[in-house]
């Protein structure tokens, strides 16, 4: 390997929760026409965590198959991106590092900027690999999206983790150099430290997202990025999958293209399949879109994929990846489908019970109800410490 090697995503794996709530159950509860969910926002179901699942258990479950396939050698950095953090000081990545049994010669850090932080993690990882192409960086994006019951946001919850191994000569997607970046101080979505559920102004958030699409694309173009017509597909952050359609139509219009619905369907159609049934997974969402695309598309070898990563507040980044010839041999399509299919449907009452369950905040010792059948669980809170176990 040399210093000018291609760098990008060498492997990618995702995990989601034990339970799932179909949107039909939500519609039955609140009297909404199911068309509002299925077509209006583009969601069919949402992943619901068990009481003993959180960003650490999902993150470790997503990353474990990468370590099983490649070993931990060469991983000297773990970057954990989340906006549903479990501790104000300690990185969730340190728990994942421990559960995976990785070398003590590792630096671990947690990153936050709403749904955008995994992209920052990916770019920082590329910088580290550029400095030493022998190293690999484990980037984990893991989130639980939680809104107030009976709020408009309730329909756009979800949870999942994506783990990516970033390195030189990647097997899946080379990340190209020019990036378009954009920041604007807006209050479209936020979660003060004293709240478990996020606060969101849905319409403000749609507008802020579209503004960030323009801003990041403008900068991407000014940095010498590809033209819109060169891309085979676009992976957008998908707080609800319809948002990708709104964003892409906006981008076509902004960049002077005619609104061609066949083209929009071709550019986005395969990227929504996982987010459509998982729901909003915040930092993981744009990379779940990539997983869905790679898992379903006819051979994309050598083709360019666009990424538009948005995080409320707001920061966005537009960049491109080139799909590496031979990538299909390295996909985890069956495991990804199994992660979705293994979820157990819950009825509305059970979902609300799980939603209302919050980790004890009284400072006492508590065991967590044993609910998950996943590989890792949050077993207890003891002496103010979260106790995780591996199966």
The H or E element containing residue 214 is helix 202-222
With CB under 6 A as the rule, give the number of residues binding ligand COA: 20
Minimum CB–partner distance for residue 186 and ligand COA (Å): 11
Q: How many CB atoms lie within 10 A of CB 138?
A: 31
Measure the CA–CA gap between 326 and 305, rounded to whole angstroms: 16
Long-range pairs, 94-98, Cβ under 8 A, ≥24: 95/56, 95/60, 95/386, 95/388, 96/56, 96/59, 96/60, 96/63, 96/140, 98/388
Among 240, 274, 287, 327, interactor with ligand COA by CB under 6 A: 240
φ and ψ at 160, to 5 degrees?
Answer: -170, 165
261 a catalytic residue: no
33 marked ligand binding residue: yes
Q: Residue 123 or residue 280: which is nearer to ligand COA going by CB?
A: 280
Which residue of the set 18, 23, 53, 83 is catalytic?
A: 83
φ and ψ at 8, to 5 degrees?
Answer: 175, -150
Which residue of the set 10, 23, 237, 336 is catalytic?
A: 237
Q: Residue 123 or residue 238: which is nearer to ligand COA going by CB?
A: 238
253 marked ligand binding residue: no
Measure the CA–CA gap between 108 and 364, rounded to whole angstroms: 28
Report yes or no: 230 and 238 within 8 Å, Cβ to Cβ.
Answer: no
Which residue of the set 10, 53, 115, 355 is catalytic?
A: 115
Does 118 contact ligand COA by CB under 6 A?
Answer: no
Q: Residue 146 or residue 332: which is nearer to ligand COA going by CB?
A: 146
CA atoms within 13 A on the CB side of 85: 23
Which range, of 18-26, 198-206, 318-326, 342-350, touches ligand COA by CB under 6 A? 198-206
Among 31, 35, 256, 363, interactor with ligand COA by CB under 6 A: 35
148-177 positions binding ligand COA, by CB under 6 A: 152-153, 155-156
237 a catalytic residue: yes
Q: Residue 90 or residue 249: which is nearer to ligand COA going by CB?
A: 249
Report yes or no: 182 and 216 within 8 Å, Cβ to Cβ.
Answer: yes
Q: Residue 27 or residue 92: which is nearer to ligand COA going by CB?
A: 27
90 marked ligand binding residue: no
83 a catalytic residue: yes
246 marked ligand binding residue: yes
Q: Which residue is nearest to ligand COA (CB)?
A: 40
CA distances from 382 to 89, 91, 361, 369 (A): 17, 18, 12, 14
Measure the CA–CA gap between 382 and 366, rounded to whole angstroms: 7
Does 306 contact ligand COA by CB under 6 A?
Answer: no
Measure the CA–CA gap between 214 and 255, rounded to whole angstroms: 9
36-95 positions binding ligand COA, by CB under 6 A: 36, 39-41
CB-based contacts of 65, cutoff 8 Å, min separation 6: 13, 163, 332, 335
Does 275 contact ligand COA by CB under 6 A?
Answer: no
Which range, of 30-38, 254-262, 328-336, 351-359, touches ligand COA by CB under 6 A? 30-38
Q: Is 325 exposed, middle or buried (0-12, 13-18, 19+ CB in 10 A)?
A: exposed
φ and ψ at 93, to 5 degrees?
Answer: -65, -25
Does 281 contact ligand COA by CB under 6 A?
Answer: no
Does 189 contact ligand COA by CB under 6 A?
Answer: yes
**Which residue in 57, 21, 159, 64 sits closest to 373, CA to CA?**
57
**Which residue in 329, 297, 287 sits closest to 172, CA to CA?**
329
Mark out the alpha helices in 223-260 (DSSP H runs).
Answer: 241-254
Minimum CB–partner distance for residue 242 and ligand COA (Å): 6
Q: Residue 39 or residue 103: which is nearer to ligand COA going by CB?
A: 39
Site track 312-341 with ligand COA (rule: CB under 6 A), x = hit: x-----------------------------
Does 200 contact ligand COA by CB under 6 A?
Answer: yes
- Give the binding site for ligand COA (CB under 6 A): 33, 35-36, 39-41, 115, 152-153, 155-156, 189, 200, 202, 205, 209, 239-240, 280, 312
Binding residues for (3S)-3-hydroxy-3-methylglutaryl-CoA: 33, 147, 246, 280
Active site residues: 83, 115, 237
């Amino acid at each position: 390997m040399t210093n000018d090697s291609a760098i990008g995503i060498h492997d990618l794996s995702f995990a989601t929760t034990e339970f799932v709530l179909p949107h039909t159950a939500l519609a039955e509860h609140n009297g909404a026409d199911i068309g509002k969910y299925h077509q209006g926002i583009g969601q069919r179901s949402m992943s619901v965590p068990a009481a003993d699942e959180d960003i650490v258990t999902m993150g470790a479950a997503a990353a474990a198959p990468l370590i099983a396939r490649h070993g931990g050698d060469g991983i000297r950095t773990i970057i954990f991106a989340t906006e549903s953090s479990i501790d104000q000081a300690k990185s969730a990545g340190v728990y994942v590092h421990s559960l995976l049994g990785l070398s003590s010669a590792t630096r671990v850090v947690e990153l936050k900027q709403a749904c955008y932080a995994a992209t920052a993690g990916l770019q920082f990882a590329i910088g580290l690999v550029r400095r030493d192409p022998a190293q690999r960086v484990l980037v984990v994006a893991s989130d639980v999206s939680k809104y107030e019951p009976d709020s408009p946001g309730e329909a756009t919850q979800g949870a999942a983790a994506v783990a990516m191994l970033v390195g030189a000569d990647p097997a899946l997607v080379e990340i190209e150099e020019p990036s378009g970046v954009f920041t604007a101080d807006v209050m479209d979505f936020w979660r003060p430290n004293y709240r478990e559920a996020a606060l969101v102004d849905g319409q403000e958030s749609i507008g802020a997202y579209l503004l960030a699409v323009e801003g990041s694309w403008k900068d991407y173009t000014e940095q010498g990025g590809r033209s819109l017509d060169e891309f085979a597909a676009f992976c957008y952050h998908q707080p609800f999958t319809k948002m990708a359609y709104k964003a892409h139509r906006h981008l076509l219009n902004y960049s002077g293209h005619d609104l061609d619905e066949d083209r929009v369907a071709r550019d986005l159609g395969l990227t929504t399949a996982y987010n459509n049934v998982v729901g909003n997974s915040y930092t993981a969402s744009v990379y779940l879109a990539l997983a869905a695309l790679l898992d379903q598309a006819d051979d994309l070898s050598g083709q360019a994929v666009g990424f538009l990563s948005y995080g409320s507040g707001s920061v966005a980044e537009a960049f491109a990846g080139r799909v590496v010839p031979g990538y299909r041999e390295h996909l985890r399509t069956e495991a990804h489908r199994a992660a979705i299919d293994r979820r157990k449907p819950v009825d509305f009452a059970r979902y609300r019970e799980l939603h209302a369950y919050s980790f004890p905040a009284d400072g006492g010792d508590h065991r967590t109800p044993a609910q998950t059948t996943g590989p890792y669980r949050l077993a207890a809170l003891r002496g103010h410490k979260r106790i995780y176990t591996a199966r």
